[in-house]
Amino acid sequence: MIETSRQLKMSLSAFMIAFGALLTSGLVLGTPHAWNQSAQSTESTEQAARMKWFREAKFGLFIHWGLYAIPAGEWKGQPIAGIGEWIMNRAKIPVKEYEQLAAQFNPVKFNADEWVKLAEDAGMKYIVITSKHHDGFAIYQSRASKYNIVDATPFKRDPLKELAAACAKRNLRLGFYYSQAQDWHESNGAGNTWDFGPDDQKNFDQYLQEKAEPQVRELLANYGPVCLIWFDTPRMMTKERSQRFIDILRTLQPQCLIDGRLGASGDYRSMGDNRIPDTVINEDWEVPATLNRTWGYKKDDNDWKSPEDLTFKLVDIISKGGNYLLNVGPTAEGIIPQPSQDNLRAVGRWLKVNGEAIYGARPTPFGEELGQLSTAETGKDGKPLFKAKMDWRCTTRPGKLFIHLFKWPAAQFELPAIKNKVKKAYLLADPGRKPLSVNQTDSAISISLPQQAPASMPLVVSLEIEGDTVRR
């Protein structure tokens, strides 16, 4: 008996992990398929205008903040495994207990301008904050539900109003994450099976019409220009249901972007959580990613990615054509954890010197530097494993090629051949822009470099070339 229940538990958790992996890999996240049709060459001028800022911005700050920051990964003295904002679900906390957290939520150290300043220091151009996550609690003033920060907490302030003002002041764009389908607080929302039973017996449209749709209207009506709405986990989101959200957005703020997880094609593709694709994707796309393992604050998660790793990921993503949306999980007091701040600011210092190779930059014209499929090893899905290379990456802009060096090539760097003539080469980190000598042949380009890296890595070699696009 004990054996059986243990086996059952084990296979259940294996299932949950597999299901989680499937969700986070973007496979069941309603990944839109219209991207190839809306390839940038054939898109409408309306779509091009809407996407313009996103294609320039490249780097954004994700903020996961809500009641889950109070338990911070621990419930009744027990650490709860998994991502912090899922604690209500993972510990199967009844609504009646979880909603009592609201009475304790008083983040008196919250300072909108400090958060926006951090994003600015990090070189980020947009901010996306959880207006309501799966737990159903709105961190802004909502008339559609009393379960919100102004009506249900001693704090009583509206952080989204304060962030909108701070973003306007510092010239960053502001967008809102909104969990349209899962709402564990509502009897007809998706996901809370422990209080309300199976999802297929709920009146889901009633939840959508009484809470989710009105709340999205509020977000678009009350906070000035919203750069995007970041929908997530489109459970039970049919095309008809998704279309109602599209109509709300296009009516209230036609310039506002829709991410890739609504349940119908959005304006760009959302990759799975923390999933950076192996190769270039010639569409608009974004990777949401964490600095440690959790999104919402968890006091025991200290598994911080290093600034070097973050910089590599940023360059890797831009060289493949995407945007990087990197997350912080502020505490229940309103403080962004110090390691998050330090690591983001380190990336920002690199961007101050090398931003020309990132903002508005286009993907690599090469591709061989990214890696290749293994001829011997297969992954869990039976397909050949992709073996990533990490020595260098390339980004471009009209008339320019940028080579980001992650491994210093003593004295000589060899770049695959291009037809454009290279006019000049220098390091972006060199204020004097001292020319590097270049030897260009039909088969390769060889750039002479100092024996030792003259500054900390990655160093970017800027090549000025003839012509706007790189020809190979």
Q: Residues near 383 by Cβ (< 8 Å), separated by ≥ 6? A: none
Which of 19, 373, 398, 424: binder of ligand H79 (CB under 6 A)? Answer: 19
Binding mask 332-351 for ligand H79 (x = CB under 6 A): --------------------
d(CA 326, CA 69): 18
Q: Please tell me whether residue 135 binds ligand H79 under the rule CB under 6 A.
A: no
Give alpha helix (H) positions in 282-334: 307-319
Residue number with CB closer to ligand H79 (158 or 232): 232
Q: Please tell me whether residue 144 binds ligand H79 under the rule CB under 6 A.
A: no
- Residue whose CB is nearest to ligand H79 in the complex, by number: 20
What tokens were used for 80?
């709860």
Q: Please tell me whether residue 24 binds ligand H79 under the rule CB under 6 A.
A: yes
Residue number with CB closer to ligand H79 (19 or 471): 19
Instruction: Pick out residues in 78-97 that bind ligand H79 (CB under 6 A).
Output: 82-83, 85-86
Which of 98, 295, 297, 324: binder of ligand H79 (CB under 6 A)? Answer: 295
Task: Give the DSSP letter string of 336-383.
Answer: --HHHHHHHHHHHHHHHHHGGGTTTPBPPS--GGGEEEEEEEE-TTSS
**Residue 295 contacts residue 83 (beta carbons within 8 Å):** yes
Which of 183, 232, 259, 267: binder of ligand H79 (CB under 6 A)? Answer: 232
Residue number with CB closer to ligand H79 (43 or 195): 195
Which of 145, 188, 233, 420: binder of ligand H79 (CB under 6 A)? Answer: 233
Q: Please tell me whether residue 99 binds ligand H79 under the rule CB under 6 A.
A: no
CA of 81: how far to CAs of 7, 48, 86, 91, 138, in Å? 19, 42, 9, 9, 24
Q: Which residue has the tokens 């054996």?
A: 3
d(CA 398, CA 362): 9
Which of 259, 273, 286, 369: binder of ligand H79 (CB under 6 A)? Answer: 273
Q: Quote the least distance from Cβ 57 to ligand H79, whole Å.
A: 18
CA neighbor of 185 nearest in space, from 89, 261, 106, 263: 89
Q: Please tell me whether residue 288 binds ligand H79 under the rule CB under 6 A.
A: yes
Instruction: Using the rule CB under 6 A, give the single segment among 18-26, 187-195, 371-379, 449-457 that binds ligand H79.
Output: 18-26
Residue number with CB closer to ligand H79 (18 or 373): 18
Which residues sit opposite 448 in a β-bridge? 412
Q: Please tell me whether residue 20 binds ligand H79 under the rule CB under 6 A.
A: yes
Instruction: Using the rule CB under 6 A, give the single segment among 20-28, 65-73, 164-172, 428-436 that binds ligand H79.
Output: 20-28
Q: Residue 389 in 3-state DSSP?
A: coil
Q: Please tell me whether residue 274 binds ligand H79 under the rule CB under 6 A.
A: no
**Residue 88 contacts residue 77 (beta carbons within 8 Å):** no
Residue number with CB closer to ligand H79 (78 or 437): 78
d(CA 341, CA 119): 9
**With DSSP H G I counted as helix, E B as strand and the rest as coil, what are the percentages for the chain, rounded to 5?**
35, 20, 45
Residue ranges in contact with ligand H79 by CB under 6 A:
16, 19-20, 23-24, 82-83, 85-86, 232-233, 273, 288, 295
